[in-house]
Structure 1
């Protein structure tokens, strides 16, 4: 299996360079857990929550070593937990490309600098800003990792990201439950592609200090209520005791909302999203 992963990892690295993304489309690579790569207009590449540490407690090995990601323009970090802000991945990416910008909540900035990210390459994921970045239009919105954590000095500890890129609106939720105003926010943004966690949460995991997210049913209902075109579930495959079977969201949608589009990514798959407005 490790050899298979390594072979596919090299294919991904080639695809990142060679994939052409026409207007109205985005290319998405699923790396496991909450980690995705997205490529769009101008051959820009964004990596969200890269978790590439080859730790023994992972369910499967990463597809490649983090230092092989030499062409990343932006790394978006949703919060400071180690499967989202992975020190190994951050240090490696920062080391091989001193032009990469890291967009993250202020809670993460000290850790990023400890990992070798220079202060001028850190962009605040400030939920009060219309856009954190305008080259690739990226904005941060609050996330409630079961609860909000907010301070006047640091802002929100947990965030999700909305991208307005290449004629496609993408929402990467980070780690969150559904909270008041989230549906209305996503409706206003007219989200095309939503990447949502589905591992859920419960009392017994909380007792083990495992903070949770929306579950299968909530993610499905959020996508429908917000008018999302296509849903991709995340955050279900990496850790024993904090996982979910992604087929359950297909079952739920088929039984209740058979017109709602949903795509389960194969491990390390390249998925080309095509907007309804694509030419």
Structure 2
């Protein structure tokens, strides 16, 4: 059983009360690849994994409790799901999320839609994340980017099962990779966009974890190289410490960047931290 989160309602109040200027985004880290993003009055949750569903039903015990619980979540405008694994599409969180934020849209790959409707999510609030489809919701634009976890898998209709998201909000371009390895064409497509901030998994993969059913991602070296190759201004590592046996030390990521690319900016987020990313746009005069 997950213990009561220490931050809980106070963190959500911080999200609601945070109002960042143009050219900036506020980001909160909830563990694994779960983050909250806010800018220009829009609040986005990505892969909110904050329930104890996996622990109760699959015995997957977190190494530390999430900083919030599902019942804390209010004031959300949009939720992005990268794929159908339980630490990303959280069966314990999303029904509560929908009940408390009935007007919030939930976007995910086509393979996630039956799962979402099965959880009681209203079909009118579900949006399919389609490759090449650029969506505009209120003040934010969303572009799904295929992810390879560890392959570029497709469903029976030929649609990608895993996705990342390019988010443009408040004058900032943010790339959340979801679970992925680096695959041919990813560097080129992201280089054309040159995201201001990239959120990348670093837990890696290996034969023995694969043998036990753990599907992997890029490792810390690959994540560092990807951030540099695509011209990301700042990179944030994710997916490295929630489950024993599928972890990585973020210090290795920082050390690698320091030794090989000392001018590449990075930030390792504390649990429940609010990090405000400031882009060059924040210092430009708006006409």
Displacement of 1:154 in angstroms is 5.6
Change (3 A) 1:60 1:259: same
1:28, 1:37 within 8 Å by CA — same for their partners in 2? yes
Equivalent residue for 2:244? Answer: 240
Structure 1 distance, partners of 2:18, 2:7, is 15
Equivalent residue for 2:24? Answer: 25
Equivalent residue for 1:187? Answer: 191
Displacement of 1:132 in angstroms is 6.2
Equivalent residue for 1:170? Answer: 174
> Where do 1:21-170 residues align within 5 Å?
21-41=20-40, 43-54=41-52, 55=55, 57-131=61-135, 133=137, 135-151=139-155, 153=157, 155-170=159-174
1:133, 1:139 within 8 Å by CA — same for their partners in 2? no
2:5, 2:69 within 8 Å by CA — same for their partners in 1? no
CA RMSD of aligned residues (A): 1.5
Q: Across the two proteins, how many residue pairs are aligned to each other? A: 276
Displacement of 1:64 in angstroms is 2.0
| Superposition TM-score, scaled by structure 2 size | 0.93
Indicate the SS of the match to 2:11: helix
1:107, 1:154 within 8 Å by CA — same for their partners in 2? no
Displacement of 1:191 in angstroms is 0.4
1:192, 1:230 within 8 Å by CA — same for their partners in 2? yes
Structure 1 distance, partners of 2:280, 2:225, is 21
Equivalent residue for 2:218? Answer: 214
Structure 2 distance, partners of 1:123, 1:141, is 15
Structure 2 distance, partners of 1:86, 1:277, is 35
Structure 2 distance, partners of 1:130, 1:73, is 18
Structure 2 distance, partners of 1:47, 1:146, is 24
Please list the CA deviations of residues 160-209 of structure 1 after superposition, one character each: whole Å capped at 9, or x if unmatched. 00001111000000000001111111111120000000000000000001
Which 5+ residue runs of structure 1 have no aligned equivalent? none
Displacement of 1:270 in angstroms is 0.4
Equivalent residue for 1:230? Answer: 234
Indicate the SS of the match to 1:258: coil
1:127, 1:142 within 8 Å by CA — same for their partners in 2? yes
Displacement of 1:135 in angstroms is 3.9
Which 5+ residue runs of structure 2 have no aligned equivalent? none
Indicate the SS of the match to 1:39: strand
Displacement of 1:155 in angstroms is 1.0
Structure 2 distance, partners of 1:235, 1:84, is 11
